[in-house]
Every structure is written in structure tokens, then in C-alpha cells.
Amino acid sequence: MELNKKIAASLLCLTLLSACKETKKEDTAESNPPATAGYETYLKKEDFAAKVNGKETGLYFIEAKGIKAAFTNYGARVVGLWVPCKDGKMTDVVVGLNSTTAYQNATEHYFGGTIGRVGNRIAKGTFKVEGKEYHVPLNNGENSLHGGIKGFQDVVWNVTQPNKETLVFTYSSPDGEEGYPGKLDVKVTYSVTDNGTLKMEYEATTDKKTPVNLTNHAFFNLNGEGSGTILNHEVVINADGYTPVDAGLIPFGKVEKVAGTPFDFTAPHTIGERIAADNEQLKNGKGYDHNYALNAAGTDTMRHAATVTGDKSGVVMDIYTEEPGLQFYSGNFMQGKNTFKSGGKDDFRTAFCMETQHFPDAVNQSAFAPILLEPGAKYHTVSEYRFSIKK
């Protein structure tokens, strides 16, 4: 009998030890679940703990009820954005990479980055300010794109986190950086709210007259990062006009009506419905890569720029902005050369962009709203990406 009691006690201990080991295993799995599970991904803070040009980079999170976002101060980038989809699961709708090094080595420079000094293109990298001609680097054929070779997406920003819903990034761009005149002090505040909104607030001041056109270059897939094509996403863009471009994607300086063209998204259409149409503008952009002249705002200062719906997830993204333009890019140059944080590849048209902005080449186009910032003046603009579920 005594022997049986000892055996029973030994078995109980083994059972408890096994249970403890199983619990520990489950806890470890929960700390690093796959990208499709809840809010989290394989993102690790230590993978973003690096030094770039002597400045430290890191990984930061903000969250509110039903929304969470990850950022790095390398480029003040959105690394991931989790919102609920129709089955109640949290879906990562912004593609990103899993380390500072991955962003540095990526063939796509702009994933989630804050773009400046001047978003979009400047023809031949040349413009004049008060009669003086300036030249900025050519990094897109014969034109300059998104601030030049070393735009704001490739610098390390200072970062503070005043609360769990907010991150504040600041950067001081010295006079002459990438050929631009004046010292430009930039502040970008990213915040999330309980109603499922990601808010982007941009501010800047300068000591010399200089062009400024800030935006964010998040690549979206509303079905989830790595879920495949975005061609079946449904799009509405509240714009009766767009700015047609030449083969180098420089606008001709005029706004044309979208009516009767594949650029008309005033009623819902999928991205892929007309993308292969025999249309010169689509050929120039190799798909959609065009600026829309947004319809005027109502009583509010914010324009309702666009609505995009994920065909599988039911995630709806409404874009509101104080900017006059919206660049719609359908992922035409994605080539599967980069690996997303979830393990998928950035294959052709597996993400799209909706960049709020002033018009491309506005610094050279007198018909477009100006983008020159004066000393003593303050650049300030707000854009919001509001998420819901299709009813």
C-alpha cells in the first residue's frame, strides 16, 4: 500500500510538471503569434534596435479600442496597422518589414514612410524660388521623386510618446539637404482613436522660403498583409477631375474630367475592372499612379477623399484630408523582391497607396496650388484614415 502511494505521488508530480511545461509553451506561443492572430506579429523590438548614421532606431506601438499600429523612427514609418475585419479578427492592413535592416536594404524605399520635403515628383529636379534656381537629385528617371535620394523615409527621427494613443516624430532638415533651401523643422504626429481612426498631423517651419509637400506612403491591403491581389478591392474617389501626366509621370499642368474614362471612381469600381483598358494614361502609369483633384470640402475643412473596401475582409477605409489631392497608386512596380513581416512577398499589385498631397510638380506649375512655405509661416495639414466594417 505504501509503495502504491509513492507511485501515485510520483505520477502526480510528473503530471503537474508536464502541465507547467505545457503552460509555459503556450505562453511563449502567445508572445509571438503569427501575423493573422490578434494584434501581434513576429515583430520584435530587438530587430529594430539599430544605429543609422549614429542615431538609434526602435519599434513603437500605439493603440486604442479596436485599432493598433506599429511604427519605427527610421523614416517615421507605419510598420503595421491592425483593425477588425468582418469575422471579428484583427487584420493587419498595412504591409511592412520586420527590421530596420530590412527597410534599409529593401528595393522599395517608401513602405509606410513619411515623405518629404516634397512628396511626389519635381520635373527634372529643378525649380526656382525668388528667381534662384535649385537642383535636387534625380532618382526617378529624369525627375526627382519623394524628396530625392535621401528623403525623409531614410532618416532617423526623434520620437516621443505622450500617451498610449500617440507618437510624435520630429526632424530638422538642414539648409541644403538634398539641394533644398532653408532649414526645415518638421513635426509629424500619428494617433489612433476609439472610433477606428489613424490620424496623421503634419507641421513644419523654415528659415528660408522652400517647397514643402508632406505625406505618408503606407501600402495597404485591406484583406491583410500577404493576402494576395488588391485588384478586387472596391474604390470610390470623390474627385471629378485628375491631372494627366506624360511618360515620366509629370502632370501637363491641367485638370481633366474623369467622366467617361477608366479614372472615374465617383461610383464604385474595383481596382482591376478597367486597369488593363487601352488608355494612354494607364500606359504611362503602368496602371493607376495618378493624382486626383479632390472635390471641395463641405462645411468641414476635411474633404472626404476616398472609400476603399476589402473584398474578402469587409474592411472599409474612408480617407479624409485637408489636402487638395490624392495620389492613387495600384502597386504597379511591386516585383516580389521584398519579404513582408508576415513572411509573404511584395508581389505585383498586392498593395495599393492613397497618398494625400498637393499636386505633383506644383513648385513648377502655376495652375496648381502653391507649396512654397515662407519663413514665419507654419505648414499644417491633417489627414485621417477611418476604418469600419462593411454592413
Question: Can you give the CATH number for the domain in which 121 is found?
Answer: 2.70.98.10
Residue 122 domain flag:
yes
pTM of the predicted model over 0.85: yes
Which residue among the candidates 108, 178, 355, 384 is catalytic per the annotation? Answer: 355
Residue 7 domain flag:
no
Residue 83 domain flag:
no
Task: Give me the number of domains the chain comprises.
Answer: 1
Confidence of residue 29 (pLDDT cuts 50, 70, 90): very low
**pLDDT tens profile 38-88:** 455 679 999 999 999 999 999 999 999 999 999 999 999 999 999 999 999
Q: Reply yes or no on whether 217 is catalytic.
A: yes
Residue 89 domain flag:
no
Quick one: DSSP state of residue 350? S
CA–CA gap between residue 278 and residue 282 (Å, rounded): 8
Confidence of residue 300 (pLDDT cuts 50, 70, 90): confident
Owning domain of residue 355: 100-389
Residue 40 has what pLDDT?
Answer: 57
Residue 67 domain flag:
no
Residue 162 domain flag:
yes
Which residue among the candidates 165, 177, 178, 217 is catalytic per the annotation? Answer: 217
Residue 177 domain flag:
yes
Residue 11 has what pLDDT?
Answer: 42
Residue 94 domain flag:
no
Cβ burial of 122 (10 Å; 0-12, 13-18, 19+) is buried
